[in-house]
Chains A and B, each alone.
Chain A
């Protein structure tokens, strides 16, 4: 089946690292994504990882994929107020090209 689960809220102090976790059920997923959605805005593709990789780093962002446990995480180093948003974990199953989204994690930055 297709299901992507993630916690709904995360609060982090400015300057600390944020870690947003996600689990998915479809072991055939080819790509896994992190999207960012700011208030009133559309979805912005932050980063993605191919299923044969276990880590991807892009500036302040680190994606870790544990395919055995079907667990994906997004680490944001040195979290800033501009990182306040909803972060969606998503996957593309092998059999098609649609993207299946989780419910999103709202990241709140504490001063």
Chain B
């Protein structure tokens, strides 16, 4: 089966610009997660979707970050405006069920804000 696809692979932007990341989960996976991994740290959950509904966005900085999952398949994560501290790898993951053990992660998008 195809894995979790993410694009772009890398992105460099200036602070205060906007950026969007795209994720295509494994076909049929109802649950989708966005994680932020700052250099030297473990991934931190930003938002969790179940189909096209938000389950948990308590760690999402809503003043600048937004995410959507229209039609319950692909998802986009947007940052507007970006700050230097947003430099990180943004990982998307999906699972068939919320109770599934572990998730399948994509390779991530590495964002550098200069």
Q: Which residues of A contact B (CB under 8 A)?
A: 4, 31, 33, 40-45, 48, 88, 90, 96-104
Give Cα A98–Cα B54 distance, bound, in whole angstroms.
13
Taking a contact as CB atoms under 8 Å apart, the answer to whether A97 and B41 are in contact is no
Give Cα A52–Cα B101 distance, bound, in whole angstroms.
15
Taking a contact as CB atoms under 8 Å apart, the answer to whether B33 and A98 are in contact is yes
> Is B45 among interface residues, defined by CB-CB distance under 8 A?
yes
| Contact partners of B42 in chain A: CB under 8 A | 4, 88, 90, 101-104
| Contact partners of B107 in chain A: CB under 8 A | 40-42
B82 to chain A, nearest CB (A): 22
Taking a contact as CB atoms under 8 Å apart, the answer to whether A97 and B91 are in contact is no
Interface digits, B97-109 against A, CB 8 Å rule (1 contact, 0 not)?
Answer: 0110111111110
Q: Which residues of B contact A (CB under 8 A)?
A: 4, 31, 33, 40-45, 48, 56, 91, 93, 98-99, 101-108
With both beta carbons as reference points, the residue of chain B lying nearest to A44 in the complex is identified as: B105
With both beta carbons as reference points, the residue of chain A lying nearest to B98 in the complex is identified as: A97
Give Cα A40–Cα B108 distance, bound, in whole angstroms.
9
A88 to chain B, nearest CB (A): 6
Give Cα A42–Cα B92 distance, bound, in whole angstroms.
9
B19 to chain A, nearest CB (A): 19
Taking a contact as CB atoms under 8 Å apart, the answer to whether A48 and B43 are in contact is no
Taking a contact as CB atoms under 8 Å apart, the answer to whether A43 and B44 are in contact is no
Give Cα A42–Cα B107 distance, bound, in whole angstroms.
4
